[in-house]
Chain A
C-alpha cells in the first residue's frame, strides 16, 4: 500500500519533512512518493501526513486512484461553482 502524488502538486514542500518513512522525494515536474517506502503512516499517525497538510485538492491519491482530499474538501468551493466560474472566465 502506498500513496501517490499526481501532476496537480505545486511543489510546496509542506509534505516532505512530515513523512515518517522519508518516502517523499523532490522531483520534476513534481514531488513523488517512493511506493516501496510509503506506509500511509500506519503505526505512526492516525492520518497520512502528506495528505493531511497538502493544500491542493486531488494532488494525493490512494492505490485506487481516489483523491484523499476531493474537490471542495479543502477550499470549501463547491465543484459546481468552480466549474461555472471557469466557464465564465473563458467566455470573456
Chain B
C-alpha cells in the first residue's frame, strides 16, 4: 500500500528575528556553516519551522549508564530522549526512512540517536547510513552520541559523509561526572565512579577535537542538572566552543519518579524554565546557543514538536515498493520544496532589509522608533506551527517562548503543555491539564494563539498571563512586537525601578 503524500503547507515562516542579520543563533556562524545547517531543523532555528527530521531507532545497545536514563522504559505516551516504541533492523529503518521521506517532502534529515548509543552499535548504525546515502543522497545524515566510542568511529563517520554529529557533554570534571554516570563499559570491563567519568570525558573531548579537525560540524548537548552540573556547564560551554563546536544546546533534565531513572526516583529536581534561560544566557556570551530543542524521542518523525511516527508503522512500510522511479520522484519533491523555501527566505530577507515599503504594518514593526526601545523585555508564549500563530490555545501541545522588545522577538525556548506525558488528563498529581499548562507558562506575561475558550481566558488572566487572539495566522515575530508596542503604549512596560530614567 502507498502512504498518502502530504502536500507541503505554505512555507511562510518566522520573520526577522530568526531570518535576518539580527538572528542571535546564527549570527556567529560562518557562511559555510550557515549553508550546511540551513535545512537542518535541529541545528538551525529558522529551519525548524520548515523542515522535518526522523530518528531511526536502530541502536539499542549502550556502553554507559546515565542517571537520567532508564533502559527499561518504553511508553507510547512519553516524549523524551531514549524512549522508542519499536526497535528497527537496519533494513526496516532504511525502508521506513524512504517511506517517510516520500510522504513528507519537508524531511531533510535522518538521525540515529538511540535508544542506546549509535556508536555502541556501529554495524547497525553504519549499515543504515550506507544504504541511505545511496538511495536518498539528498537526505542529511547525522548521529548523536555519548562520545565513549567516538574516537574509534571518526574515520568511519567521515567515510559515510556524515556531516553533523552531536555529542552529549555534561561535564569536564570527573568529580561532577561521577554524579551523572554511575558506570561505563570499557575494554571488556565495567568501570564505576570517578575513574569511569574520567575515561568518558577524555574520549568525548578527543572525539570532539578529531571531528573538528575533519571538518565535521559538531553540536554539543548538555543536560542541566540543578546542583550537579549547572554552574559547571558555563565552563563546558567555553571549552567546547574553543575546541570548535559550532552550537551548544543546554537542555533541562527530565526527571519524574515514574520514569524509573536514578534522578527521578531519588527526587533530583529539574530546572525551572527561568533557571534554564539564565544558564543559557550565561553560556551565550561567546557561544551560539540553541533554544529550540524539543528533546525528541529516539524514533521521532516529522517537524520538531510533532511526532508522526504512528503513521509509519512497519506493517504499512513493509508493504511499499521502493523502485527507482518512486525514489526519484520522492527526491524531486523534496528538492523542489527546499528550493521553494530557499526562495521564500530570500524574498523575505530582501523585504526585511529593503527600504521600508509603505502601508505594511508588519514591516514597520521591525523598525521601531527609538522611543519604543524604552520598555522592558516581555516573555510571550505563542501557540504556533510553521512560524504562524495558528493554533487554538487548548490544542497546543507546546508553546514557543519569545523574549520580546521593541527591537525584536527572540526565541528563547518552548514549554510543553503536557509536561512530557500525553496520557490520562489527570495522570500524576491530580492537576488538570489547564492548571498544568498555566504552570508551564510561568514567567510569560502574554500568550498568543489563534483562538481561546472562555474558561482558560479567565484562568490565564487570574494567573497574570494576558491571552491574545488578535493575531491569528500572522507570523510570530511581528505579532509579538505589535503586542509589545501596545503594552508600551498602555504604560505597562515601565523600566524596572533601578533603571528608571527621569522623563
Contact sample, A vs B, 16 pairs, CB 8 Å cutoff: A12-B61, A12-B62, A13-B61, A13-B116, A14-B61, A14-B185, A46-B188, A47-B190, A52-B189, A55-B62, A55-B65, A75-B65, A75-B262, A77-B262, A88-B257, A89-B257
Kindly identify, within residues 41 to 92 of chain A, every residue whose CB is under 8 Å from any CB belonging to chain B: 45-47, 49, 52-53, 55-56, 74-77, 81-82, 85, 88-89, 92
Write the B158-177 contact mask toward A (1 if CB under 8 angstroms, else 0). Answer: 00000000000000000000
Q: Is B429 an interface residue (CB 8 A)?
A: yes
Q: What count of chain B residues pass the 8 Å CB interface test?
A: 28
Q: Is A10 an interface residue (CB 8 A)?
A: yes
Q: Is A39 an interface residue (CB 8 A)?
A: no
Query: Looking at the complex, which one of A53, A56, A82, A88 makes contact with B190 (CB distance below 8 Å)?
Result: A53
5 A-B pairs besides A47-B188, A75-B182, A77-B265 with CB distance below 8 A are A12-B61, A13-B60, A52-B190, A55-B71, A75-B65
A17 to B67, CA, bound (A): 25
Contact in complex: B67, A92 (CB < 8 Å):
no
A56 to B71, CA, bound (A): 7
A52 to B257, CA, bound (A): 26
Write the B118-134 contact mask toward A (1 if CB under 8 angstroms, else 0). Answer: 00110100000000000
A46 to B188, CA, bound (A): 9
A13 to B88, CA, bound (A): 12
Q: Is B496 an interface residue (CB 8 A)?
A: no
Q: What count of chain A residues pass the 8 Å CB interface test?
A: 26
Contact in complex: A85, B257 (CB < 8 Å):
yes
Q: Known contacts A47-B189, A49-B188, A92-B428: does B257 contact A82 (CB below 8 Å)?
A: no
Kindly identify, within residues 1 to 50 of chain A, every residue whose CB is under 8 Å from any CB belonging to chain B: 8, 10-14, 17-18, 45-47, 49
Q: Which residues of A contact B121 (CB under 8 A)?
A: 13
- Which A residues lie at the B interface, using CB under 8 A? 8, 10-14, 17-18, 45-47, 49, 52-53, 55-56, 74-77, 81-82, 85, 88-89, 92
Q: Which residues of A contact B402 (CB under 8 A)?
A: none
Top 7 closest pairs, chain A to chain B, by CB? A14-B61, A12-B60, A55-B71, A53-B185, A13-B61, A13-B60, A52-B190
Contact in complex: B188, A45 (CB < 8 Å):
yes
- Which B residues lie at the A interface, using CB under 8 A? 60-63, 65, 67, 70-72, 87, 116, 120-121, 123, 182-183, 185, 188-190, 257-258, 262, 265-266, 428-430
- Closest chain-B Cβ to A40's Cβ sits at a distance in Å of 14
Q: Known contacts A13-B61, A77-B262: does B188 contact A92 (CB below 8 Å)?
A: no
Q: Closest residue of chain B to A75, judged by CB? A: B262
- Closest chain-B Cβ to A89's Cβ sits at a distance in Å of 6
Contact in complex: B183, A74 (CB < 8 Å):
yes
Which residue, A8, A47, A55, has most C-beta atoms of chain B within 10 A?
A55
A92 to B431, CA, bound (A): 12
The prevalent SS among residues of A at the interface is loop
A8 to B260, CA, bound (A): 14
- Closest chain-B Cβ to A13's Cβ sits at a distance in Å of 5
Q: Which residues of B contact A88 (CB under 8 A)?
A: 257
- Closest chain-A Cβ to B84's Cβ sits at a distance in Å of 11
Q: Known contacts A11-B87, A47-B190: does B63 contact A53 (CB below 8 Å)?
A: yes
Contact in complex: A74, B182 (CB < 8 Å):
yes
Query: Looking at the complex, which one of B62, B182, B189, B429 makes contact with A92 (CB distance below 8 Å)?
Result: B429
- Closest chain-A Cβ to B234's Cβ sits at a distance in Å of 27
Q: Closest residue of chain A to B123, judged by CB? A: A17
Q: Which residues of A contact B262 (CB under 8 A)?
A: 75-77
Contact in complex: B188, A12 (CB < 8 Å):
no
Contact in complex: B60, A74 (CB < 8 Å):
no
A55 to B184, CA, bound (A): 10
A17 to B122, CA, bound (A): 11
Query: Looking at the complex, which one of B62, B188, B266 makes contact with A52 (CB distance below 8 Å)?
Result: B188
Q: Which residues of A contact B183 (CB under 8 A)?
A: 74
- Closest chain-A Cβ to B62's Cβ sits at a distance in Å of 6
A92 to B428, CA, bound (A): 7
A18 to B120, CA, bound (A): 11
Q: Which residues of A contact B429 (CB under 8 A)?
A: 92
Q: Closest residue of chain A to B70, judged by CB? A: A75
A18 to B188, CA, bound (A): 8
Contact in complex: B189, A81 (CB < 8 Å):
no
Contact in complex: A76, B71 (CB < 8 Å):
no
Contact in complex: A89, B189 (CB < 8 Å):
no
Contact in complex: B67, A76 (CB < 8 Å):
yes
Which residue, B87, B190, B258, has most C-beta atoms of chain A within 10 A?
B190
Q: Which residues of A contact B185 (CB under 8 A)?
A: 14, 52-53
A52 to B368, CA, bound (A): 63
Q: Closest residue of chain B to A52, judged by CB? A: B190
Q: Known contacts A77-B265, A92-B428: does B190 contact A12 (CB below 8 Å)?
A: no
Q: Known contacts A47-B190, A89-B257, A89-B258: does B265 contact A82 (CB below 8 Å)?
A: yes
Contact in complex: A12, B65 (CB < 8 Å):
no
